[in-house]
């Protein structure tokens, strides 16, 4: 029990340090345009999100949404 509390603290610290952000590549299948975002919502007709530039975007619901790595996101959004 002596080590339980420090170990719990280390686990929590590791989770916080690793981040909880998810990254997505959204491809509009009608135009072929690709967007990158960290969150999105779906409604019956659209996928809505803020793109890597902070612009509000809505694409058709049939668009492709892929989960990607943080490295791929950073590489794709590097300016």
Q: Residue 37 pLDDT more than 90?
A: yes
Residue 9 lies in a domain: no
Residue 56 lies in a domain: yes
- Indicate the length of the chain as a whole number: 79
Q: Which domain holds residue 38?
A: 20-77
pTM equals 0.73
Nearest alpha-carbon partner for 38 in 27, 24, 26: 24
Encoded tokens for 64? 């492709």
Identify the band that residue 20 occupies on the pLDDT scale cut at 50, 70 and 90.
confident
In terms of pLDDT, which residue wins out, 16 or 24? 24
Check: CB of residue 34 under 8 Å from CB of residue 73: no
Q: Residue 12 pLDDT more than 60?
A: yes
Q: How many structural domains compose the chain? A: 1
């Amino acid at each position: 029990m002596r080590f339980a509390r420090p170990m719990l603290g280390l686990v929590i610290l590791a989770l916080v340090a690793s981040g909880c952000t998810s990254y997505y590549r959204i491809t509009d299948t009608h135009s072929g345009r690709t967007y990158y975002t960290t969150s999105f919502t779906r409604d019956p007709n659209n996928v809505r999100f803020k793109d890597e530039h902070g612009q509000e975007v809505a694409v058709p619901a049939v668009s492709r949404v892929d989960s990607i790595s943080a490295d791929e996101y950073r590489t794709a959004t590097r300016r």
